[in-house]
Structure formats: structure tokens, C-alpha cells
Structure 1
Amino acid sequence: MNIVNLPEEILIIIIKQLDLISLYNLYTACFRIRHIISVCKVIKACDLSLNTMATVQSLKLNFFKDISRHLQELNMCGVTDLSKSVLLPALSRMKSLNTLNVSYTNINIFDFVELYQSCPSIKNISINFTFGKTSRVKLLKKSLLQCQEVFKNLDFVNFVGNLSNLIYSQLPLFILCKSKLKTLQYTVIECDMTTYENEDCEERVQFNQFSIYFLDGKNSSVYYGFMHEMLLFSMLEFHNYEVIIIIRLNLKSVSLYATPV
């Protein structure tokens, strides 16, 4: 029996098991499959990270345009040529998008403020904690207040950036001070002390779960023995939480500790 002669419900099960490349090939080769993908809301998650379709040109394909209307998750982590100008028209078609990962791309915090206006259904964001410049710069308070208004609508935030901006700066806390997050996550990817000047923040960030990852690929031997000095921890009300979980990773073993606060 030819695959196109199978009942629609069987074809939908098959389609859901395919990786993105196989799905695209099937879409271009068969009209019936193309119709099912376009109409039946089969594809709700799209992972463009670390595969041969990880390029901004994929956003311009008819295949992507057809699945965009029903997408709930879009992962473009590591798509190095991704920019706001390319992503903006694609997001405007995504009326159901809930989760967006644009970390390790050219998208910065100010870009996301504009992107969110085109796709206000986003609740979960992973993004580089940068603002379009690499040198020390004074950020305008007006722009930061706009960030506050956007981030207060989110449930999950993962900021990816350097040590000084995430840990020793009040800038992330200032941006998130109106938020009531389910999860806040920091991913520290380098220890360089390139910083942004920012407003002081006296508010405390509200969240249900907090996690921090140290992924300094430039210097894997660095020792993070500064935890007690972090400005971040003085801003977080840990007495409101029942358990702190600490995970220590090395080449030979994994140690996990869970202790009542």
C-alpha cells in the first residue's frame, strides 16, 4: 500500500514521529501530506537548532509559513545569521507561539521588546542578555522601562550572558522587577567583565524556581568560589523557598545536594 493511501489519522501519527528534515522532504514530495501539515495543526514544535535547516532562509520557505500558524514552540538557538529584521515577519504569522529560544543568535533584549509586540502570545523566552553593543554603555531608562512592561507578561526567562551582567549587576533584576515568573534561569557563558551601566533596583524579583548554570567554555578550569559575594543573592528572598538544590558536575562524577533553606 502506498503511504498516501493510508487513513489520515495514521498519517498524522507518522508525521508526528518525523524529524524536521524528513518532514520537510515529505512536505515537498506529497500534496496530501502537505495539506495535512498545513490544515490539521499537526506540527506544534519546530527545532531549527543544530541541524542543516538552522538558517534564516528556512523561515522563508512555504513549509515554514504553513506550519507557523499553529506553532507553539520555536527553537532557533545557535542560528548565527538570525536577526530581528528576518524574524519579525515570521513571528507576525505565529498566533499561537508560547516558547521562543533565540539564545546564541544576534537577537538582543531590545530586539525582543519589538518582537513581542508582533507576537504577544510568547510566555517563555531564552535570549542573550545583550543590548546591541559590546562596550560599556549607559542604557536609557525609558528603554529599560519598556523592557519591564514586556517581561512582566512572561512565565519563564532564561538569560544567557557574561558573569558581570548577570551576577554582579542589578540590571536583570531591574528589568524583571515587575515580573512574577514561574522559573528564572541564568546561563553564565563567560567570565569577561564587560558591563552595562544601569539603574539601581530596590525591588525583589518574584519567581517560583531559580536555577543558574556556569558554562564558561573559554576557561573550563575557572573556579566559581564567589557565590557568597553575589549581589544577586542579596536580592533574592530565599527564606520563602523550601529547598535549594546544588548540582556539581565534573568529568568523573555528578554530585547533587538538596537541603532545606
Structure 2
Amino acid sequence: MTEMNPEQIRARVAELGDWFHNMDLKGVRTAPDHFLYDYPANKFARFEHAIPADLTGKSVLDIGCNAGFYSLEMKRRGADRVLGVDSDDRYLEQARFAAEVEQAEIEFRKLSVYDLAALKERFDLVIFMGVLYHLRHPLLALDLIHEHVADDLLLFQSMQRGSDEVFPVAADYDFNEQAHFDEPGYPRLHFIEHQYAHDPTNWWAPNAACSAAMLRSAGFEILDQPESEVFVCRRGPSPWVGAAYPARASTNGYDRSGDKA
């Protein structure tokens, strides 16, 4: 592949429209006027130490890859296979171009988080950052990641609002006990009916306790929380039984409790 000069890179960056990832492609910035400045590099710098520095021989799945910043970072750490998936064609075009400029062998594919089972593959590291709050069915997405693609580590991030406190959650509460629902450290998922920050795809804003609780509920053990919104997890056994999801052919007509669906 012929290496592009800065003028060619700059022209193609402009052709690909607005970029949310402000990336440095051989000295050319993809979003020089980004409202979050050097994003996501400035955010990644705060938690990059929590991810293995050497991913040699490992596979990585980047869900909601956008323009591929994290996919490229994992490839730089030596990952053997990196697959980025997104539902937005424009982001995928940007990601493919960024990988081309960096001469990185990364596959990008159009795929919804709800269709991850189609991959029929598990990955050593799954990245699920900046996606959960855009989904109508966030807990389902975490369950599908656990069930179909996560083999070991999960790097998770969500926009959070409310308290950063995380209170211990009891195994059960009496029906008449209600005070805990108003405690700042109790898991709380705020629903956004219309728009937030002028974005109609922002549906949810969990507090920190809710993010942690949802991850545990989906079967992930939290290993580290390098900053409030970021969790490094390990896949564990599924703690839930009989989730109210439509039965699939592979269940042979039975739900996860073993009862007839």
C-alpha cells in the first residue's frame, strides 16, 4: 500500500464527514475543534494502565468502535486479532481509513450489539465503551456480551450521572422497606424520555452504583475501577436464571430455569 502524504490524508478526513474521535493520523487531526479536545486519547490516558500492556496472541472485540481509536490502540499493544463493530456506516468508513493510514490489520464490520451471536466467536478482551446509554435495552446487551463473545476481560464505560458513591446492596429487602431507594449510593438508572445534550439516542444515565450492579448481574466480576465511569471486569458464571428473553431454537423450548418456555 502506498503511504499517503498529509494533504491526501487531510482531504480524505474531510470527505468522511464529522469525526467524533479526534485522532492523529500521521500529524493530521481528524477533529481539531472537538468540544472534548484530544478525545478519546485524553480519556484513555487516565485508565490505559488498567489494560494489559502486552496483548500478543490475544483477540479483541471493540463494540461500538466508532472511528477505531481503541481498536488501533489494542493493535499497537500487539493483539493478534482485532475486530471492530458498529451500526453506523460513516464511523466504519472512518475506522477503515484510520487503520489504512496506520497500516494496521484490523477488521471492521457492521453489526448491532443485539446480533453478537452471529459472530460465533469469543474474544480475550471485549471493549464496550460509550454504548450502553445509547441502547433501548442496555441489560440485554450486557447479557448478550457475556453469553456470546466475552471469554475473559471486559473493558466497560458508560456516561454516568448522579452520585459516584457505591453502597453495599443487600441480598433482599422487605417489601415495606423503601428508604434505600433514595440513598445516593443505591443503583439508579435514569431514563431520558426525550433528549439529553441534544442527542435523541441518549436513553439512559446510570449512576456508578448502577453500572457496577448491572455488570455483576450480567455475570462480570469487577477487577478494577480506574475512574468513575470505567470498569475492568472478568467474565464469570451467569448469576441469573430464567431471564425474560424470547426463547431461541437452541433452547429446545425451555427457558434458563429449566421450565417449559
Whether TM exceeds 0.5 here: the answer is: no
Normalised by the size of structure 2, how large is the TM-score?
A: 0.29
Normalised by the size of structure 1, how large is the TM-score?
A: 0.29
Q: Whose helix fraction is larger, Structure 1's or Structure 2's?
A: 1
- The higher relative CO (CA closer than 8 Å, separation ≥ 6) is in 2
Larger Cα Rg: Structure 1 or Structure 2? 1
